[in-house]
């Protein structure tokens, strides 16, 4: 929604443009209030306009997205290849973790994921890891996976 239009007359209640805007705002606010889950109802009933309700929901969900993003980043930073996990499964698991921030609007570059995968490899992958670490270009998961097979 846009900002409430300025009234052309001193009597704001009689201005048809302002009246129409107020009616649309009330309808939009009611729609938002009826559409949220009960747990979020207090957030949207403590405001007076649809814009305020939308902004309150945005702040709340961005905070939730940030906590999810932090959890994902922690998971990625502790990524380790399992003892009985082959490279294909390990790379697939890493890619699944990488896809989660993208769904939250924070895509991760393939190079970042490739470096995380390399850091999660056990010592038995020392030589291919060293070769890939010392590459002078950005890494791509497809190349890293192929090199490790």
Around Cβ 76, how many Cβ atoms within 10 Å?
19
Give CA separation, 113 vs 22, 42, 58, 133, in Å. Answer: 50, 40, 29, 13
For the stretch 54-90, pLDDT in tens is 988 888 777 677 788 888 889 988 999 999 999 999 9
At 2 the pLDDT is 63
Per-domain boundaries in the chain: 13-66, 79-149
Q: What percent of the chain has pLDDT over 90?
A: 38
CA distance 92 to 141: 10
List, as one string, the DSSP characters of 66-101.
HHHHHHHHHHHHT----TT--HHHHHHHHHHHHHHH
For the stretch 21-30, pLDDT in tens is 889 999 999 9
- The model carries a pTM of 0.58
Give SS3 for 57. Answer: helix
């Amino acid at each position: 929604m846009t900002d409430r239009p300025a009234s052309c007359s001193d009597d704001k209640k009689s201005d048809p443009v302002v009246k129409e805007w107020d009616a649309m705002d009330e309808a939009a606010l009611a729609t938002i209030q009826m559409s949220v889950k009960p747990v979020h109802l207090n957030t949207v009933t403590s405001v007076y306009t649809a814009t305020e309700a939308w902004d309150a929901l945005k702040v709340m969900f961005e905070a939730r997205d940030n906590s999810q993003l932090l959890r994902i980043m922690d998971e990625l930073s502790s990524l380790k290849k399992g003892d009985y996990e082959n490279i294909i499964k390990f790379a697939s698991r890493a890619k699944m973790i990488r896809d989660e921030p993208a769904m939250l609007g924070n895509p991760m570059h393939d190079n970042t994921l490739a470096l995380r995968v390399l850091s999660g490899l056990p010592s038995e992958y020392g030589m291919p890891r060293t070769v890939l670490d010392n590459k002078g270009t950005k890494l791509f998961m497809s190349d890293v996976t192929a090199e490790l097979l």
